[in-house]
Structure 1
Amino acid sequence: MALTMLNELLIEDPSPPVLLYQVSKTAKLDTLNYQSCFMQSVFAHFPEILFIHRTYNPRGKVLYTFLVDGPRVQLEGHLARAVYFAIPAKEDAEGLAQMFQVFKKFNPAWERVCTILVDPYFLPLPTLAMEFPTAEVLPSAFHICKFLQGKFYQLSLEQPVERVLLTSLQSTMCSATAGNLRKLYTLLSNCIPPDQLPKLHSYWLLNDRIWLAHRWRSRAESSRYFQGLEVTTRVLSQFFGTTPSVEQGMTSLLRYMQQNSGDKASFSLGLSPQSSCAPSDVSPQSPKVEQLVEACIQHSLNTICTGPAAQLCLGELAVVQKSVHLIGSGSEKVNIQILEDTHRVQPQPPASCSCYFNQAFHLPCRHILAMLSARRQVLQPDMLPPQWTEGCAASLDDILGSKWSETLDKHLAVTLLTQEVGQLLQHCSQEEFERRYSTLRELADNWIGPYEQVQL
């Protein structure tokens, strides 16, 4: 019921969002990834500093909220800076890696992230560092402030001492100079019992790198910044953190966002929710229309193609039916992404795609079929090579035997491997690049021989 409400809420959204979720055998929400077109546009404008906040609900599920941060971000509204919501299946390395990878798939600007601010107890730092290799991960000033506030209350200090510490903390956070931080550190050392002091991790106050990411704000800006994050985290806790039902909590949160859409944020960006959608978008078809379109595609495959060809293509269509895909249109080509590597589709007859399946068999692949489904079109005879049309081939073995090329197979395999290696080399550090390049250099020279150096 809650999932139905969630889907209905998204259908009402005038700017179709990205929504991916998985349910368990008991119809409970296991994973969720959500991003509206406006949220995607905000991140594309301000990707340099990413702020990650975690909210736990009574069931133990955790909501990851990604927010933009930094000097350039001047957005008003409780959740105007929120650019992504995600609920991982488990908060382990595998679950979080999958969550970050989905985020990166939908947000090409992730490569421009320079700094990621997290809470001090964010344990999966290795996973975060692996997925964002060029970004610096730091504890956020806001989370440190909230942590110290909580510790002051837990210690049951005398009221005058507690009041002095809270006032000093608030003043220091609004003017986080090295001198003020040192004074607060000294105050903690004098006021907190020695056996309790290590629990406060007061050494954070002396880590200047943490505060450089916050120090650029004026006192007034710092005050507004902390107040804004306080309201944002309370809203998240109100809707998600206090509701046992994950589905109900997310539905309430998204409805709140729709009812309190950031007009001021849109004005600051020069965007409107309707026009701020990035080129990549999710097709806003209703389930009934989508099923009808796919049924028509299936009928056209059976009508136009040979039996074996239809059998292969229907397997690709099954992937489309079970997947969520992004489609970005260009002047002559269409970029199709089905939660995997991006491939380029040439829609003009005969349709072609850069993926392995289409290059090997010259048949409509899952990406071409996804394009047809999104455009509510069906397969046309001129989109197929003649040898695949009805009546031209007797069996699957005949077709595969006549079309399969061992040379092409090797070429495609090498091409895909080369692209993957190239992407890995682009996103690693200089030290790692030199190490990997040296390994490739040695491998290539060994293959060719010691007397001829291979040009890489």
Structure 2
Amino acid sequence: MWTMSDDDDFVETPPSSEQAGPSSTQQAAPSPASTGLTDTPELTFHLGDQFSSFAELEKKVTAYSSAHFVQLWKRDARTIEAAKKRVGKIASKMSDVLKYHSVKYCCVHGGKKFATKASTRTSSTLKQDCGFRIYLVATQDGSSLEVRSLSLEHNNHAASEALFRHLPQQRRLPPEVQAEAVAMLRLRPDKKLLRERLESSTSNVVTLRDLSNLAAKSKKDNPRNNLQAAVKMLQDNYKATVRLLSDENNELRALFLQDEAMKKSFGDYPEIIFIDATYKLLETRMSCFLVIVEDGNGESEIVAAGLFATEDGDTLRWFFDVFKELNPSWDAIRIVMADKDWKERKVVTELLPQASLHICAFHTLQTFRREVSVRKLGISKPEQEMALDLLQRMVYAQNEDEYLQLYEVFKSSAPKQVLDYFDLNWHNIRHEWVMGLKWSCSNFFNSTNNRAESMNAKLKDIVMRYSSLENFVTDFFCFVHTTRKERSHKGAILLQKKRILKTTDEDYSRYCNLLTPYAFQHVKRQLDRSADMTVDTSNGALLTGACTCAFRVAMLLPCCHVLAARRQLGLSKFDDSLCAPRWLLEHYMESREELLLQESRQPEAVRVDRREQQPALSSHQKFRKASVLTGRIAGVLSEVSTAKFHNRMAVLEALLQHWMNDEEVHLTTEEYPLAPQEKTGSAMGNGESGILCALTPVGFKEAAVIPSSALPSNSAAACASAQMPESVSQAQIAVSIAPDNADCTVINSESHVKATEATCGDRPNPLPATLSIADVKDIKLPQPMRKCGRPKGHSLTVIGIPKKRKRNADRGPFRSLPISEKKNAVLTWLVGSAAAASALNGLEEHEVEVNPALLHCAILDESVDINIAQSYFTDDGWLAVCNTERDDIRPLPTASRRMAVCSQRTSTSRQVERACAKDSSHVYPGIAQ
């Protein structure tokens, strides 16, 4: 019953004894039969119960929930401040410890049902019309909260401990346990093992989704992609030297980082560097560019790293300029290993003129396979295979003479299209990709860029895909420091342990003590070869190490010819002058010890370089610059949903159409709400105004095109954005098209704009302007790109072609196959697959292959019972099978037909069967041997 109280508030009062009947829903407590529980006075509610503070009420509610396995929530509540507007007399008397003037608790499965729309996607809800409620209102004197009405009976759902423990409120972990879980999640453990540990230590139900939510929440709480914080971390925590490059719009173009240990490693081993970039490590889509060297023990070391927003020539030029500035030993670089597809090869040759640029052999073969194709060059398949075979032999040519011999054969046999392609792109740079010619540059037998590829793979094991800038810095230096200290430990063990050799030759021991383990393994093989070798020692050149063999030239270590010459002349084979200093154990250990000391040195101050406005570009430079931008646009489009993709493609097509008409387009964005009937559609206006994407979802930005007649002149339109007042939001900028009478050249492909250096001239290389560290906070990072769809790349092979699903080659033993597969196999062996398909109609005599030379011997295995296929033959057909001469069967695994024999076998035929069954396993792996 509801009555009006003195403070004009409706309250529910308990019915009198005459009014209370069996149909009343207001009960003091549910019966044990209705709930299955026995209530105690302390763990239940009664009408008239009063609570002097809200904390006391919450404590009682929590105890009741735990005892009865129900989750309660505040369905309705009115605070004291809100109640003063309606019941000011009582509310003014209330203490702040009560917090609420009125509050209503309901079961989590009850409460008011919210209306849903018909178009709402399929979902679920906890609401099941449970009638449980506890309603409390402040007393007249405002001293406490009193239970005015209640219903403790649950409807439409079960109340059990097992179900109660799975509710989200009960799964919530204590704050200290959450902090521990977040710390362990940062180590990226197996979530199943972590879930098991947390559940056993807290007795809470913990799901894998709970752990994922914890990890996502920790990412939101931490700052992401804050350039100033990342630079400070690099300086304070890792003592790294940082250089930044920004453009005229104050946007970050590149970041260079190098710590003192990296500088020391490069100074110790500068002869050859490996350069490569890896992608998708940062959510800003900046590429990670690494410079790697080979140390004295044959291991790879990172000596510089960069983050590039775009890999254009100017950015790479700036990177290597900074690298040369910070590393005085840059002029000792003799070889730069890179890929053939690397975009700006000329930058390296210009900035490192003393170095030879080598192309990875793997990427060379990969490029040949991609470019010398039937589709691209219009050649036949046999011509392609012949050309690729000769190209591969040229890649592995040992010297110039061998290469020229192969080249003459190639010119006389390769199609003209292939020869023209090869002469244009490869013949004149053969010293960069022919194996033997690269060895002559002392490349330490590094013919591929596998060191950089391996380093990238290891780095991706530590750095998560699409990390924030801060997480990338932390994980990157975690990888660098771990690798560095592991190798320092290995070096310490080398000094404390003596290597034991099986030979008693003193020269072996002396070389072993002089060289690193990696270098000694090479020299040891040369010592072994020189023991039985005889060489010409008449000119005496070999005694000084003047040997032209591939090993001596490539490794700068004593070769077998030099060692054999010294042995023939009665000299000791040991000579430390024959070994390059980089391979000495003493040099290696000194460099490892100094690396650890370099980590504690203070870094240099951060410098920000700003790229100045460049002069007029040539057509080729314009094309390359535009290609970088269009590539980024394609990357953005590939990540969005299909609806957005088509919408944005329409904008690009309209933009292209106006440019082809020699009209200047000024693109801006506008944000406006949609009518309800427009929210589910998408249209493209083609009217006089030229508006694009007229219907877009609320909150999305629209690109529009306005006729030039409605716009100011060219000069005013060009600077419209710069003159816009600050009060105008970014979503309300005008869009304009202004005609331009200047000549316009349409560029269709890169081949149309390839210009020579004589016409294009040297690329400008303006000196960057140096800014202060205070400007770091004003530099803008590239915007993070959202991931859409499945991760790409997992279904591709190393060269980018779709992976073929591997068929289950091992079908198991023949005896284990189902009877249907056994019959099909035997029929195929006997008559071929085409005739086997029609076997249900009966196989005639002429369909049986009776020539033993064309039949396969897999049918001879003892586990094969050909009688299971007899029902598919006519009488004459089966007779032809049984009359086949088994002794004439050839045990060749390449036969195209199979053969069956009758069940009668002689001792001689069993010997033939065993020999044939051994060969047959190559064709049919399921045959048991």
TM-score (norm 2): 0.25
Q: Whose relative contact order is higher, 1 or 2, with alpha carbons under 8 Å and at least 6 apart?
A: 1
The structure with the larger Rg is 2
Whose helix proportion is higher, 1 or 2? 1
